[in-house]
Amino acid sequence: MPRAAAALLLTVLALVAPPLSAAATDALDDDDDHRSAFHACGNQGQYAPNSSYEANLRYLAGTLPAKVNGSSSSFASVLAGERPDEISAYGFCNSSSGCAACLATAFRHAQLVCPYSRRAMADLRACRVSYHNVHRREQVVRVVPAVAIFGDRMSSRWLEILVDDFPMMLLLQVMGIACVLFMFLQEWRASRKGAASANLLP
Protein backbone atom coordinates (compact mmCIF):
# COMPACT_ATOMS: atom_id res chain seq x y z
CA MET A 1 0.00 0.00 0.00
CA PRO A 2 2.77 2.55 0.74
CA ARG A 3 4.22 1.89 -2.74
CA ALA A 4 0.86 2.61 -4.30
CA ALA A 5 0.61 5.86 -2.34
CA ALA A 6 4.11 6.92 -3.43
CA ALA A 7 3.34 6.07 -7.06
CA LEU A 8 0.08 8.02 -6.85
CA LEU A 9 1.89 11.03 -5.36
CA LEU A 10 4.53 10.99 -8.12
CA THR A 11 1.83 10.71 -10.79
CA VAL A 12 -0.09 13.66 -9.34
CA LEU A 13 3.11 15.74 -9.21
CA ALA A 14 3.95 14.84 -12.81
CA LEU A 15 0.48 15.94 -13.93
CA VAL A 16 0.27 19.10 -11.83
CA ALA A 17 3.82 20.49 -12.22
CA PRO A 18 3.76 21.37 -15.97
CA PRO A 19 0.54 23.44 -15.82
CA LEU A 20 1.78 25.24 -12.70
CA SER A 21 5.11 26.11 -14.31
CA ALA A 22 3.32 27.25 -17.48
CA ALA A 23 1.05 29.48 -15.39
CA ALA A 24 4.08 30.96 -13.62
CA THR A 25 5.77 31.59 -16.97
CA ASP A 26 2.64 33.30 -18.33
CA ALA A 27 2.49 35.48 -15.22
CA LEU A 28 6.08 36.56 -15.78
CA ASP A 29 5.41 37.23 -19.46
CA ASP A 30 2.52 39.52 -18.55
CA ASP A 31 4.70 41.54 -16.19
CA ASP A 32 5.69 44.89 -17.69
CA ASP A 33 8.52 45.86 -15.36
CA HIS A 34 11.13 43.77 -17.25
CA ARG A 35 11.85 41.40 -14.40
CA SER A 36 14.15 38.68 -15.70
CA ALA A 37 12.90 35.19 -16.30
CA PHE A 38 16.13 34.11 -14.66
CA HIS A 39 19.13 35.80 -13.10
CA ALA A 40 22.19 34.65 -11.21
CA CYS A 41 24.76 36.50 -9.14
CA GLY A 42 28.27 35.08 -9.09
CA ASN A 43 30.67 34.27 -6.29
CA GLN A 44 33.64 36.34 -7.48
CA GLY A 45 33.20 39.02 -4.85
CA GLN A 46 32.19 42.65 -5.25
CA TYR A 47 33.75 45.67 -6.88
CA ALA A 48 33.94 49.17 -5.39
CA PRO A 49 31.73 52.00 -6.67
CA ASN A 50 33.47 54.31 -9.17
CA SER A 51 36.27 51.75 -9.63
CA SER A 52 37.95 50.74 -12.88
CA TYR A 53 35.83 47.57 -12.81
CA GLU A 54 32.67 49.68 -12.85
CA ALA A 55 34.08 51.78 -15.70
CA ASN A 56 34.76 48.58 -17.66
CA LEU A 57 31.17 47.47 -17.06
CA ARG A 58 29.87 50.80 -18.37
CA TYR A 59 31.98 50.34 -21.49
CA LEU A 60 30.65 46.81 -22.01
CA ALA A 61 27.06 47.94 -21.47
CA GLY A 62 27.48 50.31 -24.41
CA THR A 63 29.48 48.12 -26.79
CA LEU A 64 28.02 44.63 -26.28
CA PRO A 65 24.46 45.37 -27.53
CA ALA A 66 25.82 47.01 -30.69
CA LYS A 67 28.23 44.14 -31.34
CA VAL A 68 25.54 41.46 -30.91
CA ASN A 69 23.10 43.47 -33.02
CA GLY A 70 25.67 43.61 -35.84
CA SER A 71 26.49 39.90 -35.59
CA SER A 72 24.93 37.44 -38.04
CA SER A 73 24.64 34.82 -35.28
CA SER A 74 22.93 37.14 -32.73
CA PHE A 75 25.76 36.29 -30.33
CA ALA A 76 28.95 38.11 -29.36
CA SER A 77 31.50 38.29 -26.59
CA VAL A 78 33.58 41.32 -25.60
CA LEU A 79 36.58 41.88 -23.33
CA ALA A 80 37.22 45.16 -21.53
CA GLY A 81 39.90 46.46 -19.19
CA GLU A 82 43.23 45.22 -17.91
CA ARG A 83 44.05 42.64 -15.26
CA PRO A 84 43.02 42.31 -12.48
CA ASP A 85 39.84 44.15 -13.53
CA GLU A 86 39.48 42.64 -17.00
CA ILE A 87 35.87 41.65 -17.72
CA SER A 88 34.52 39.17 -20.23
CA ALA A 89 30.89 39.65 -21.27
CA TYR A 90 28.67 37.86 -23.73
CA GLY A 91 25.25 38.58 -25.12
CA PHE A 92 22.76 36.50 -27.06
CA CYS A 93 19.41 37.29 -28.68
CA ASN A 94 16.69 34.85 -29.71
CA SER A 95 15.61 37.12 -32.56
CA SER A 96 17.02 40.15 -34.30
CA SER A 97 14.05 42.43 -33.64
CA GLY A 98 14.73 44.69 -30.67
CA CYS A 99 17.96 42.85 -29.87
CA ALA A 100 20.08 45.85 -28.85
CA ALA A 101 17.34 47.31 -26.64
CA CYS A 102 16.75 43.94 -24.96
CA LEU A 103 20.48 43.48 -24.26
CA ALA A 104 20.77 47.00 -22.83
CA THR A 105 17.82 46.27 -20.53
CA ALA A 106 19.30 42.89 -19.53
CA PHE A 107 22.65 44.51 -18.72
CA ARG A 108 20.98 47.13 -16.51
CA HIS A 109 18.88 44.41 -14.88
CA ALA A 110 21.95 42.26 -14.11
CA GLN A 111 23.54 45.22 -12.34
CA LEU A 112 20.29 45.99 -10.52
CA VAL A 113 19.64 42.49 -9.15
CA CYS A 114 23.34 41.80 -8.47
CA PRO A 115 24.61 45.18 -7.23
CA TYR A 116 28.42 45.51 -7.35
CA SER A 117 28.81 41.80 -8.13
CA ARG A 118 31.82 40.95 -10.28
CA ARG A 119 29.82 38.22 -11.96
CA ALA A 120 26.17 38.30 -13.01
CA MET A 121 23.77 36.92 -15.58
CA ALA A 122 20.29 38.07 -16.62
CA ASP A 123 18.05 36.15 -19.01
CA LEU A 124 15.03 38.13 -20.22
CA ARG A 125 13.80 35.29 -22.46
CA ALA A 126 14.31 37.33 -25.62
CA CYS A 127 17.99 37.87 -24.77
CA ARG A 128 20.69 36.97 -22.28
CA VAL A 129 23.66 38.89 -20.88
CA SER A 130 26.46 37.55 -18.71
CA TYR A 131 29.73 39.02 -17.44
CA HIS A 132 32.54 37.91 -15.15
CA ASN A 133 36.00 38.87 -13.93
CA VAL A 134 38.53 37.06 -16.15
CA HIS A 135 41.39 37.07 -13.62
CA ARG A 136 39.32 35.69 -10.72
CA ARG A 137 37.69 33.05 -12.93
CA GLU A 138 41.10 31.77 -14.00
CA GLN A 139 42.19 31.58 -10.37
CA VAL A 140 39.12 29.50 -9.49
CA VAL A 141 39.60 27.17 -12.47
CA ARG A 142 43.22 26.49 -11.47
CA VAL A 143 42.07 25.32 -8.04
CA VAL A 144 39.64 22.70 -9.37
CA PRO A 145 41.39 19.35 -8.77
CA ALA A 146 39.17 17.46 -11.22
CA VAL A 147 40.80 19.26 -14.15
CA ALA A 148 43.81 16.96 -13.84
CA ILE A 149 41.58 13.93 -14.47
CA PHE A 150 40.57 15.15 -17.92
CA GLY A 151 43.95 16.46 -19.08
CA ASP A 152 44.63 19.24 -21.55
CA ARG A 153 41.78 18.38 -23.92
CA MET A 154 39.09 19.54 -21.51
CA SER A 155 36.77 22.14 -23.05
CA SER A 156 35.98 25.46 -21.41
CA ARG A 157 32.31 24.41 -21.10
CA TRP A 158 33.27 21.42 -18.94
CA LEU A 159 35.46 23.66 -16.81
CA GLU A 160 32.50 26.00 -16.38
CA ILE A 161 30.28 23.08 -15.34
CA LEU A 162 32.85 21.85 -12.81
CA VAL A 163 33.42 25.28 -11.29
CA ASP A 164 29.93 26.76 -11.41
CA ASP A 165 27.34 24.02 -11.72
CA PHE A 166 28.86 21.12 -9.77
CA PRO A 167 27.87 22.35 -6.27
CA MET A 168 24.24 22.78 -7.36
CA MET A 169 24.22 19.39 -9.12
CA LEU A 170 25.65 17.76 -6.00
CA LEU A 171 23.04 19.45 -3.80
CA LEU A 172 20.21 18.23 -6.04
CA GLN A 173 21.63 14.69 -6.03
CA VAL A 174 21.80 14.70 -2.22
CA MET A 175 18.21 15.95 -2.01
CA GLY A 176 17.06 13.23 -4.41
CA ILE A 177 18.82 10.50 -2.44
CA ALA A 178 17.34 11.86 0.80
CA CYS A 179 13.83 11.68 -0.69
CA VAL A 180 14.34 8.08 -1.84
CA LEU A 181 15.70 7.08 1.58
CA PHE A 182 12.74 8.76 3.26
CA MET A 183 10.30 6.79 1.08
CA PHE A 184 12.09 3.50 1.85
CA LEU A 185 12.06 4.33 5.57
CA GLN A 186 8.31 5.00 5.44
CA GLU A 187 7.71 1.70 3.66
CA TRP A 188 9.92 -0.18 6.12
CA ARG A 189 8.02 1.32 9.08
CA ALA A 190 4.69 0.43 7.51
CA SER A 191 5.80 -3.17 6.91
CA ARG A 192 7.01 -3.46 10.53
CA LYS A 193 3.69 -2.13 11.82
CA GLY A 194 1.86 -4.58 9.59
CA ALA A 195 3.97 -7.48 10.86
CA ALA A 196 3.52 -6.39 14.49
CA SER A 197 -0.25 -6.13 14.12
CA ALA A 198 -0.35 -9.54 12.39
CA ASN A 199 1.50 -11.08 15.35
CA LEU A 200 -1.06 -9.63 17.78
CA LEU A 201 -3.98 -11.29 15.99
CA PRO A 202 -5.19 -14.54 17.64
CA distances from 58 to 107, 115, 175, 181 (A): 10, 14, 40, 50
In a domain, 29, yes or no: no
Q: Which residues form the domain of 98?
A: 37-153
- Our count of domains for the chain comes to 1
pLDDT at position 35 is: 45
Residue 117 in any domain: the answer is yes
What average pLDDT score do residues 93-122 get?
Answer: 86
Domain assignment present for residue 48? The answer is: yes
Question: Is position 67 within any domain?
Answer: yes
> What is the rounded average pLDDT of the residues 111-121?
87
In angstroms, what is the C-alpha Rg of the chain?
Answer: 24
DSSP string, 94-128: SSSTTHHHHHHHHHHHHHHHSTTBSSEEEE-SSEE
**Does residue 111 lie within any of the structural domains?**
yes
Q: Which residues contact 157 (CB under 8 A, 6 or more apart)?
A: none
pTM: 0.51
Give the CATH number for residue 104: 3.30.430.20
Q: Which tens digit of pLDDT belongs to each residue from 28-57?
A: 444 444 444 678 887 778 888 889 999 999
Mean pLDDT of the chain: 73
Q: Is the pLDDT of residue 123 over 60?
A: yes
Candidates 88, 81, 89, 82; CA nearest to 106 is: 89
Position 126 in a domain: yes
pLDDT at 19 over 70: no
142-193 pLDDT, tens digit each: 444 434 444 444 444 455 555 556 667 777 788 888 888 888 888 888 888 8
Q: What is the band of 59 on the pLDDT scale with cuts at 50, 70, 90? A: very high
